[in-house]
Amino acid sequence: MVKVLIVDDSLFARKILTDILNSDKDIEVVGVAKNGKEALEKIPILKPDLVTLDVVMPIMDGIVTLERIVDKYDIPVIMVSDLTQEGATLTLEALDKGAIDFIPKPKNIFSLNSETIKTQIIDKIKISAQCNIYVKPVIKEPKSIPERAALTGQASKDSFDYIIAIGSSTGGPKALQQVLPLIPKNINGSIVVVQHMPPKFTKSLAQRLNEISSINIKEGEEGEVLKRGHCYIAPGDFHMEVVKRGSEYVIRLNKDSPIKGLRPSVDVLMDSVARLDSIRKIGVILTGMGSDGSKGIVSIKQSNGFTIAQDEKTSVIFGMPKSAINTNHVDKVVPLDEIAYEITRKVEVL
């Protein structure tokens, strides 16, 4: 039984979330709180296994409350965020500060009652309650990446020989912060990423990652031509593919049906990369729940690509990496702090 404390200043939100979670026989809502101060008073009494935490609240907001929970308790926290640009920015800050995941709160709160969303919330609660909350940011020095690893001596400013496709979900925003900033700006490749997030959130994520990285990181756009030393993150609610147009590689976005309930899908992106001719490929699976990317990893490997998965010890949720590894098509399983090294080392061997 997963015991949950719901923290939200909206009476309707508290009621709807309580009803959704209590509908599952393995979850019990042990209490509710209307602000952070009240939540901190109830945690030592109710001893929840997990806390859902509204981002914007009076008296004590979600960010301050989260910091205090992380500092004092080993309890997974899932943020509940409005689907606004401000909500996205605050949610990403919360993920940086230790939240495990988030639940989007639509403008019409009653739409949370749809069966699909109910199932997603319940699954997220169950899996997050068992996550590896002891994963801490990497503080040791990463392996040295030789300068020559990023160079071929032949490539022009925008040409490249590799496309690196990365997939991540729960724990992914923080994991990407420990991979992409370590990629050298003159790497002989272009990077495409699927991180499971709604619209606005992916744009905020790209902006935050771009600020701390030497490569250029942005949200991918329809018809955009891939460039060397650039990274493109699939926009929320769109599948992203890469297709060849003449000598160029171009982003294509679509709203085809979700795959395994997901749009964007890692499998869709990696399958499209695997189909490309005259380019070398690397597929990377980072932390996340579910099995998205396992089919794509097989496609990348079968197209003579190189494949990498994050190890269990450094994964917040080992679902996606484990599913990829179980295909027997992963070349290297490494800790998070070695993934950038492995990518760049492979690009060196041309």
| Active-site entry in 81, 101, 190, 196 | 196
Query: Cis ω on the peptide bond leading into residue 264 (within 30° of 0)?
Result: yes
CA angle (183 as vertex; 179, 188 as ends), nearest 5: 135
In the chain the beta strands, taken as DSSP E runs, fall at: 2-7, 27-33, 50-54, 77-82, 101-105, 162-168, 189-195, 216-219, 230-233, 239-245, 248-254, 280-285, 306-310, 332-334
Do 198 and 190 form a contact (C-beta atoms < 8 A)?
A: no
Question: Is 114 known to be catalytic?
Answer: no
Do 109 and 12 form a contact (C-beta atoms < 8 A)?
A: yes
Question: Is 239 known to be catalytic?
Answer: no
Do 299 and 271 form a contact (C-beta atoms < 8 A)?
A: yes
| Active-site entry in 292, 294, 299, 329 | 292
The β-bridge partners of 134 are: none
Question: Is 196 known to be catalytic?
Answer: yes
CA angle (219 as vertex; 117, 211 as ends), nearest 5: 115
Which tokens belong to 323?
Answer: 């599913």
| Active-site entry in 81, 128, 168, 169 | 169
Which tokens belong to 15?
Answer: 């009621």
Do 246 and 225 form a contact (C-beta atoms < 8 A)?
A: no
Would you please indicate which residues are annotated as catalytic (active-site) residues? Answer: 169, 196, 292
